[in-house]
Amino acid sequence: MSINDVILSVFPADFLDLLVRHDVGSVPIWQCVGAFYLASLLCLKPKYGSSRIDAIFWGANLGLSAYFLAEVTWIPFLATIIHTRTSYPYLVVISHCISANISYRVRHGDQTDRLRALLFGFFLYGFGGSIVSDVLLGLPVTALAHYRIIPCHILGWYLVWFSPMDWVFKTIRRRDLAIRFLIGAGEAIDAVTTPMGRIARASRELPNKVTAPLAAGLFAGIGGAIVRFLTGDGTYLAVQAGFFKTMGYSLIFWWFAVYQCDSLIGTDFSNNHCSSYTGSDSLRMTIVLFHVVWGLLCDGDWVSGHPFIWLGEKLLYSDNVGTIASTFRFGPTTGKGGKED
């Protein structure tokens, strides 16, 4: 049994087909009413004097909602992950645009010029990575051509800077409101699926199926951080962390979605969507869910860092690597007084 077979066994095919066919417009009206009630709770969290009562309240409401309102809660969320293979769902793009504008406002302060925030926020925190990736690979830049991106960026900018009583910015910044985690989940989906989409696009449009897709995925993930660093708006540590994290996801996705389709001839990869190099739905679900859950755990201070960042630093910066390089005189060496030998 291959690794891909193991991944496929995690998500049964009939369940994935249900997610592909899911249509929120066809759910019963009572579930829509329940979803409105749940959304109200997420936005207007009641305050209790006891953390135990608070946990019981949220556990009961979210647990009952997950069971009775599945078709308007977690099933659409999982369906959104599947649909990123062929589209840019509104849940993802709007969450990303709101998060990008919030990041710009936090970095530059409340008194910064609003027009500057609209323009620079788009390139520095919004879609700089995908633009850099497209330009470096000589592909048409799609960030300005996509019919959802510019309107959603303007919407996110307006909500962050002009909402009544500054409600959007203050609410999403609060760590005790669940809507913060909902926006964070949508942003996490965007962060991990954008490199996957660039890998698939480079594999379809370019003859180089190895370094070009990997470079496309890598720069889609860290291109924005590089631009911020070069313009003095970011740090090298952010570029380094983004490099290790994006490279880890890119290698996994490229191996299953591109390499296996082109190199393992005679193996059945009917579920891999090899014609578009977009990978199997189960692979996408596994990668995205891991990234989303890990991101939410980090946002809640339950974990810190990222496994790929830890692994990259161990491989590149550990004392053992330095000792081996020094012993075998790999790379630059220094003599007495810090001068080169």
Q: What pLDDT, in 10s, does the model give residues 44-86? A: 666 656 667 777 777 777 787 777 877 778 888 888 999 999 9
* Burial degree of 328 (CB within 10 A; 0-12, 13-18, 19+): exposed
Mean of all residue pLDDT scores within the chain: 86
pLDDT of 300 higher than 50: yes
238: confidence class by pLDDT, cuts 50, 70, 90:
very high
The secondary structure of residue 125, as a DSSP letter, is I
The secondary structure of residue 306, as a DSSP letter, is -
Q: What pLDDT, in 10s, does the model give residues 211-237? A: 999 999 999 999 999 999 999 999 999
Which residues 6+ apart lie within 8 Å of 168 measured at CB? 98, 159, 160
pLDDT at 177: 75
pLDDT at 336: 47
Q: Are 203 and 258 in contact (CB under 8 A)?
A: yes
Report the percentage of the chain scoring pLDDT > 70.
86
The mean pLDDT value for 279-302 works out to: 90
Task: Identify the bridge partners of residue 334 per DSSP, sorted by sequence position.
Answer: 340
327: confidence class by pLDDT, cuts 50, 70, 90:
confident
Dihedral of CA 199/203/205/206: which sign? positive
pLDDT at 337: 47
